Amino acid sequence: MFGSNLLARRSKPEQITDQAWQHLVSAGDSIRDAARSARHTSAGFADDAGDLVGSAAEEARHRASLAFDALTGRRPALPWTLLIGAALVGAAIGWAAGSAARAVGSRDQAVDDIEFVDVERPDSPADPLT
């Protein structure tokens, strides 16, 4: 109550000045929040750009090394990991195909080994239709 009487008795320029000061304070807070957000966003962009530049530089070094080797007449090394991997995959596929072929072959042979025999029992009639 006491404060409201003092605020009401101020002159018009003081009231305008106080209102302008409040607007500046709130604008400063919003600018500070926007700057903080921009700083976080730009830090993320800078990290991404650094990663991109780093990977591009690594690729450029690799290509320059290959070009230098080609100019000096050196042949590129064989990709041993790729060759060994392809050999292992081929061996696995061959083993699987061989196992499947053996399984199919043994199944057909077991069916062919079955022999049917007609047996007459002594207590059964010789010709059940008659």
Domain count across the chain? 1
State the amino acid at position 28 in one-letter form. G
Domain-embedded: residue 66: yes
- Give the model confidence (pLDDT) of 12-32 as tens digits: 777 788 888 787 777 777 777
Domain-embedded: residue 38: yes
Q: What pTM does this model have?
A: 0.33
73: left (phi over 0), alpha (psi -120 to 50) or beta: left
Domain-embedded: residue 103: no
Domain-embedded: residue 70: yes
Distance between CA atoms of residues 106 and 21, nearest Å: 96
Domain-embedded: residue 123: no
Domain-embedded: residue 115: no
Domain-embedded: residue 6: yes
- SS3 annotation, the chain: CHHHHHHHCCCHHHHHHHHHHHHHHHHHHHHHHHHHHHHHHHHHHHHHHHHHHHHHHHHHHHHHHHHHHHHHCCCCCCCHHHHHHHHHHHHHHHHHHHHHHHHHHHHHHHHHCCCCCCCCCCCCCCCCCC
- Give the model confidence (pLDDT) of 42-68 as tens digits: 777 777 777 767 778 888 888 888 888
At residue 114, the pLDDT reads 65
Structural domain of residue 44, as residue ranges? 2-86
Domain-embedded: residue 11: yes
